Chains A and B, each alone.
Chain A
């Protein structure tokens, strides 16, 4: 097994520990973190999906791999949603593939500005719609993990 995947896998089996409460893992785009069981030991797997076919197809595939690994809570988070049409397209896709849509983060011009200037979203504008949407996810995620 590729050593970096093995290391993350080993870490996740033994974390969180001591004075840590929550571990958040930002994975690479490649599905290797799933096909190599790197992230099997998590409580919640968020699959970020944009409202276009290739992104949704990827989300469906990743969610399937996550479920195969036995992850209890595999959920989709819609991102860069530009309105009702986008949201209903994602919701429809999730419904027809038995995926749970946890929430939606809107397309946010302030976020694009933050990215351009290399400033974290939270420093750029803590009240931005996208930041507020992520804030809304926190409670959902904590509740999922506690269930």
Chain B
């Protein structure tokens, strides 16, 4: 099951997503929280201590590859998704792991 959280800036998306992820985790399910915000802040709500932020290894960009299948171009992940979650997701409390999308390389690079 996949849940996406959207809304205007400042509406409380991150607080609601993070708390929701943890409460679903506490119900016994294994949850992957994906921080798709280019200014990532979900780790705090998920209960990751600021000291362990260094452990977060953001998912690199450019993981998609174009393949030609029967003459049609298909776009898909260039690595198995299990491998990506294994290599990049960080364990958080309450059965939740966190995957952070790589932030932009720096001002003016996007």
Report yes or no: A6 in contact with B75, Cβ–Cβ below 8 A: yes
Report yes or no: B36 in contact with A48, Cβ–Cβ below 8 A: no
Report yes or no: B22 in contact with A122, Cβ–Cβ below 8 A: yes
B55 at the interface (CB under 8 A from A): no
The 8 Å CB contact of B61, one of A4, A13, A23, A44, is A4
For this complex, 14 residue pairs linking A to B, each with C-beta atoms less than 8 Å apart, are A4-B102, A7-B64, A10-B64, A11-B77, A14-B77, A21-B29, A24-B17, A24-B20, A24-B21, A26-B36, A28-B36, A55-B8, A55-B11, A138-B27
- Closest partner residue, chain A, to B63 (CB atom): A7
Closest chain-A Cβ to B4's Cβ sits at a distance in Å of 4
Closest chain-A Cβ to B103's Cβ sits at a distance in Å of 9
Closest chain-B Cβ to A40's Cβ sits at a distance in Å of 9
- Complex: how many Å from CA A15 to CA B84? 11
- Complex: how many Å from CA A107 to CA B21? 20
B57 at the interface (CB under 8 A from A): no
Chain A residues, Cβ within 8 Å of B64 = 3, 6-7, 10
Report yes or no: A131 in contact with B19, Cβ–Cβ below 8 A: yes
Chain B contact residues (Cβ within 8 angstroms of A): what range? 35 or more
| Residue tally, chain A, CB below 8 Å to B | 68
Closest chain-B Cβ to A18's Cβ sits at a distance in Å of 5
Report yes or no: A38 in contact with B36, Cβ–Cβ below 8 A: yes
Chain A residues, Cβ within 8 Å of B37 = 26-29
Q: Give the interface SS of chain B, mostly helix, strand, loop or mixed.
A: mixed
B6 at the interface (CB under 8 A from A): yes
- Complex: how many Å from CA A22 to CA B21? 8
Contact of A22 with B1 at beta-carbon distance under 8 Å, contacts A3-B61, A33-B6, A59-B7 already known = yes
Report yes or no: B32 in contact with A16, Cβ–Cβ below 8 A: yes
Given A26-B14, A120-B47, 4 additional A-B pairs, CB 8 A: A22-B24, A27-B4, A46-B4, A134-B16
B52 at the interface (CB under 8 A from A): no
Contact of A48 with B19 at beta-carbon distance under 8 Å, contacts A8-B101, A54-B8 already known = no
B69 at the interface (CB under 8 A from A): no
Report yes or no: B2 in contact with A48, Cβ–Cβ below 8 A: no
Chain A residues, Cβ within 8 Å of B18 = 26, 120
**Of B2, B10, B31, B63, which is in contact with the most chain A CB atoms at under 10 Å from its CB?**
B2
Contact of A22 with B36 at beta-carbon distance under 8 Å, contacts A33-B6, A77-B16, A142-B24 already known = no
The 8 Å CB contact of B11, one of A10, A41, A48, is A48
